Structure 1
């Protein structure tokens, strides 16, 4: 089964997404205006199924109320039993009420993991202070607790944080970690990619970390297939196909290309012998999709 391991859905009448609906805002990934509309399972399935994808993983996407988003996604999963759908929810791992939050999330059958973003882009992180999570001992304790419950952790960060993050995650070997967007290599110069590849080694050396080939257009909007080639090759070399999985990051990456063009580029960049794992097998095992 082909699986898209990283995408979003939203119904703007059902769940509030403040970041998405802020008028006139320009984010690190560009102008969100074209995606300030409903993006529902029917549209996603049409795009994904045309490329052979039958299952998927919904990743939390900054809802004002993470529980409301999770319940809505569960409703989508229940209404589409022929389309295996797992979800990764938002949870503040430093919260005093963490256990109660996780108890509630785990009443939803589709929940497989949690995500709390460490880094999006250097400029935005400098304003939000997101990176401070790494220095909070409650964050490590929260990652460890997720693993004890059989939940994974989706890790979004920038290359500058990889070494520090690896030191934290080596203390949580029981928690499976999915590195979102190949670690967000935001500097696409030759030197920038070389630094990213070197920093990535700190995470790829941890056997419980898996890498998502996703979101690669967010820092290079006018991308060509060749632009992605060194990133895909490095991830496959460091993690191996058994620890790499494809994700479209739609509808965010729809700002830069259509689904067919993205899927085609990734299929051509990933060696044929690795297709079964990268486009399905790795995600199927990681997120327990059947």
Structure 2
């Protein structure tokens, strides 16, 4: 049996004050979410563990997530946060990388008022350094920001990156373009992966249907192939629109009917293991 990995989920403590976007008027997520809350879902769906991804643009939150990882074996790795505009970003990275479960960082393009800033020479230079070291980098990007992301990747074509949440296509409206054309160009770079995650919150919350997602999944699996896609629950953010099990089922139903055990193994674990350079938690020596 291959190692099963949920490649994208979050933990937070509201009282930490890092999460300005989590407000009382969204009660589904306005509470603490910790490893003990996720564990029943991981066990039920036979996941060996998860990749915990930052949800706040602070280094303090990354330190907090790493402290959780110290005490919970289900956290296979932590994707933290680093500000590449900070002249001391390298020192922060060097400190984080000393932790055995720090596996990379995420760039939150979604929160940038002007995504074009990622094309500034200093930013490209910083990213080029991490690309040379093959550091895994997550990209959180909205569909209308895919063009500057494409340009960034063109400047740093060797970057080891993954596009979170399918690049957030406009699922509510059902539109495909220009999302498809831009993501297809991004997929042309062989070191870029895509997470099949975050779909239910891009649809109409709690009022979606299976058909809302199928064409987007079909497009992504065709673009990236079974070798460069990963499953991520985006729990607990997904709770705004669906339960954990529904997220798993929606994706499974939307996958190409031609896919078999080998493709499922890659999507639900082996690709995340390879991309993030994870060790097999069961020590069975399973190869990617």
Verify: 1:209 aligned to 2:192, yes or no: yes
Q: Label 1:144 to 1:12 Cα distance change in 2 as closer, same or farther (>3 A).
A: same
Question: Which SS does the other structure have where 1:154 is aligned?
Answer: strand
CA-to-partner distance for each residue in 1:173-231, whole Å, 9 max, x for gaps?
A: 332101000001125434x2143212211211111110000111222122222211111
For 2:92 and 2:50, the matched residues in 1 are separated by 24
Q: 1:143 touches 1:153 (CA, 8 Å); kept in 2? A: no
For 2:158 and 2:17, the matched residues in 1 are separated by 33
Structure-2 residue corresponding to 1:27: none
Question: Which SS does the other structure have where 1:53 is aligned?
Answer: coil
Task: Name structure 2 gaps, 5 residues minimum.
Answer: 280-288
CA-to-partner distance for each residue in 1:50-89, whole Å, 9 max, x for gaps?
A: 11111211111015x32x22222222222123x2521111
Task: Name structure 1 gaps, 5 residues minimum.
Answer: 25-31, 121-127
Question: Which SS does the other structure have where 2:216 is aligned?
Answer: helix
Of 115, 140, 152, the residue aligned with 1:156 is: 140
CA-to-partner distance for each residue in 1:212-267, whole Å, 9 max, x for gaps?
A: 00111222122222211111110000000100001011100111111111111212
Question: Which SS does the other structure have where 1:116 is aligned?
Answer: strand
Structure-2 residue corresponding to 1:72: 64
Please tell me the root mean square deviation across aligned C-alpha atoms, in Å. Answer: 1.9
Verify: 1:19 aligned to 2:26, yes or no: no
For 2:169 and 2:114, the matched residues in 1 are separated by 18
Question: Which SS does the other structure have where 1:241 is aligned?
Answer: coil
Verify: 1:116 aligned to 2:118, yes or no: no
Of 227, 233, 246, the residue aligned with 2:212 is: 227
For 2:193 and 2:99, the matched residues in 1 are separated by 24
Verify: 1:58 aligned to 2:58, yes or no: no
Structure with the higher helix share, 1 or 2: 1
For 2:39 and 2:128, the matched residues in 1 are separated by 34
Q: 1:74 touches 1:109 (CA, 8 Å); kept in 2? A: no
Query: Matches of residues 38-57 of structure 1 in structure 2 within 5 Å?
Result: 38-57=32-51
Instruction: Give the alignment's TM-score, normalised by structure 1.
Output: 0.87
Structure-2 residue corresponding to 1:258: 243
Q: 2:85 touches 2:123 (CA, 8 Å); kept in 1? A: yes
Question: Which SS does the other structure have where 1:288 is aligned?
Answer: coil
Instruction: Give the alignment's TM-score, normalised by structure 2.
Output: 0.87
Verify: 1:200 aligned to 2:183, yes or no: yes
Structure-2 residue corresponding to 1:123: none
Q: 2:23 touches 2:30 (CA, 8 Å); kept in 1? A: no
Verify: 1:93 aligned to 2:84, yes or no: yes
CA-to-partner distance for each residue in 1:7-29, whole Å, 9 max, x for gaps?
A: 1011234x3223244455xxxxx
